[in-house]
Chains A and B, each alone.
Chain A
């Protein structure tokens, strides 16, 4: 795993990607810092820079997708995955090594921009707790986004497709609060929502197994579970939709940190998303061998 981590980290620097990313990251953070903290004189770095919407779009919908796109897609394109998969290392070591390399680049950027809150602290009063929780939130949130990007990269052979899909995911995540507010509450919308999910899973199932009968069984099972739940817990279907979507929302969790709240369930949630995405990426790669 260490060999893969080291190679991947080196590759970021030999391909200039790391330099360009770090330069842009520091520069853009600097712009927001200059405007909000120096220009307007706000002393709160987390709420005025880190949680700025445009700033988040840059990091999560542009920078991280570009950093993660080549992790696996390029290996497949150049067939170097044959080297990794026939070497005496397990797939999870490969996935973890790559994830950690990308995370390291992100952390280096984060370490550099710590200069800004230090400037504030030197010249005035920095709300330390708020800043710290903002940093923790940013680390956890970006880790889960890097894990998502890693997974998407493992799914495709084309880095370009990987970057686009990751960017779309990033934007959807950042807009999720707005999107959830558009979802109507009530029994019918909940059923429609469940229906869409069941159909999507069935279609995925079919493309994966190419067995119509199995897919049909999966579809009926999904419908059965939904109907069962409806009769068992009717109130879930009346009021549950938006609250469960909000519970799932990565952005909502992130926001708490930026407002100075370190909520244990959010920490666990973001870490779980990271772990689950990396686990699925491992399975995707493992499964390709059986085709």
Chain B
């Protein structure tokens, strides 16, 4: 659907992208994550043809963006970081203009404008000047603009930035409603924002792809099988003794008393998977194990681990 190969972009001597490759399958919703300055906007600007890459190729449904830019751009809808709105036009005028810009005839553009306004709940504001709209509505007009012409691929650059929590939920719902009909790529530097919508995630750091996978796999992949969460019922002292004396356990510490007589421990094992052995060990001592889990990192923790920095926001 969308193939990006070995993309390099230099701004003077600064290397913004250092060889990025990935591809999007039809119908996927992919999150492009990274801190500010990691290269998200640059990547998106190159994919949509606003900037040219220093080297590398972008292919949209097999069409090379450099060789057939017009044909390739027809397949894309783009919402840049700052929505490209003409403030002195009304919502309808603007969307109709975008339709004609994308090669629709006047009547088609009119119809298309009505359709995207329906999808984005803008019909009640169609005659308002864009400069009089609130930020959330402007963002919606930006999204509507990307939808004009029903392009199979949508590229959305930080669609939720600067919106209040209610507006974020609205836009998120809107994007979710588009899933299935479009292949969507969303960039963000706030994980929680896109974790729930995206089924795949690509993490960028300093111009390189540091991870790409399904959202769930990414969490699993970066989990450490040697770190376990153990919940066990029994005498506190005895549990301590067993854990201390066992060769299976390298380190452990008590996390909390979950309920009276039930304790949660964090255990670092001495070798690979010790879950079976640990269970038997407690069983032999007549103690009941409620659960043993491999400790999973949340996406947030994966992100911090990979980029080596705390999030800015």
Instruction: Give A contacts to B, CB under 8 Å.
Output: 2-4, 6-7, 10-11, 14-15, 78-90, 210, 289-291
Q: State which of B47-55, B213-221, B282-290 sits at the interface with chain A.
A: B47-55
Within the complex, the shortest CB–CB distance from A3 to chain B, in Å, comes to 4
Tell me whether A90 and B70 are in contact in the complex, defined as CB-CB below 8 angstroms, given that A3-B100, A14-B88 are known contacts. yes
Q: Does B145 contact A (CB under 8 A)?
A: yes
Report the bound CA distance from A7 to B90 in whole Å. Answer: 12
Asked if A88 contacts B74 (CB within 8 A), the reply is yes
Report the bound CA distance from A290 to B55 in whole Å. Answer: 10
Q: State which of B76-84, B173-181, B193-201 sits at the interface with chain A.
A: B76-84
Which B99-113 residues have C-beta < 8 A from chain A?
100-103
| Residues in B whose Cβ lies below 8 Å from that of A289 | 50-52
Asked if B101 contacts A80 (CB within 8 A), the reply is no
Residue on B nearest A80 in the bound complex, by CB: B84
Tell me whether A2 and B70 are in contact in the complex, defined as CB-CB below 8 angstroms, given that A11-B86, A80-B85 are known contacts. no
Q: Does B73 contact A (CB under 8 A)?
A: yes
Within the complex, the shortest CB–CB distance from A251 to chain B, in Å, comes to 36
- Indicate which residue in A2, A10, A15, A83 contacts B84 across the interface (CB closer than 8 Å): A83
Instruction: Give B contacts to A, CB under 8 Å.
Output: 11-12, 45, 48-52, 69-71, 73-74, 76, 78, 80, 82, 84-89, 93, 97-98, 100-103, 145
Tell me whether A86 and B88 are in contact in the complex, defined as CB-CB below 8 angstroms, given that A3-B101, A79-B80, A291-B11 are known contacts. no
| Residues in B whose Cβ lies below 8 Å from that of A83 | 84, 98, 101, 145
Report the bound CA distance from A268 to B48 in whole Å. Answer: 39
Report the bound CA distance from A10 to B94 in whole Å. Answer: 12
Asked if B52 contacts A85 (CB within 8 A), the reply is no
Tell me whether A86 and B78 are in contact in the complex, defined as CB-CB below 8 angstroms, given that A4-B101, A7-B97, A11-B88 are known contacts. yes
| Residues in A whose Cβ lies below 8 Å from that of B85 | 78, 80
Given contacts A4-B101, A79-B84, A82-B50, 13 further A-B contacts (CB under 8 A): A7-B97, A10-B93, A80-B84, A81-B84, A82-B84, A86-B48, A87-B98, A87-B101, A88-B102, A89-B70, A210-B12, A289-B51, A291-B12
| Residues in B whose Cβ lies below 8 Å from that of A90 | 69-70
Asked if A86 contacts B101 (CB within 8 A), the reply is no
Within the complex, the shortest CB–CB distance from A76 to chain B, in Å, comes to 11
Report the bound CA distance from A83 to B78 in whole Å. Answer: 8
| Residues in B whose Cβ lies below 8 Å from that of A3 | 97, 100-101
Residue on B nearest A90 in the bound complex, by CB: B70
Tell me whether A87 and B87 are in contact in the complex, defined as CB-CB below 8 angstroms, given that A3-B97, A4-B101, A289-B52 are known contacts. no
| Residues in A whose Cβ lies below 8 Å from that of B86 | 7, 11, 78, 80
Report the bound CA distance from A213 to B73 in whole Å. Answer: 38
Within the complex, the shortest CB–CB distance from A18 to chain B, in Å, comes to 13
Asked if B76 contacts A86 (CB within 8 A), the reply is yes
Q: Can you pick out 6 interface pairs between chain A and chain B where the beta carbons lie within 8 Å of each other?
A: A3-B100, A6-B97, A7-B89, A82-B78, A86-B48, A291-B11
Report the bound CA distance from A88 to B78 in whole Å. Answer: 12
Residue on B nearest A288 in the bound complex, by CB: B51
9 closest cross-chain pairs (CB), A and B: A3-B100, A83-B84, A88-B73, A86-B48, A80-B84, A289-B52, A88-B70, A3-B101, A88-B74
Residue on A nearest B145 in the bound complex, by CB: A83
| Residues in A whose Cβ lies below 8 Å from that of B78 | 82, 86
Residue on B nearest A79 in the bound complex, by CB: B82
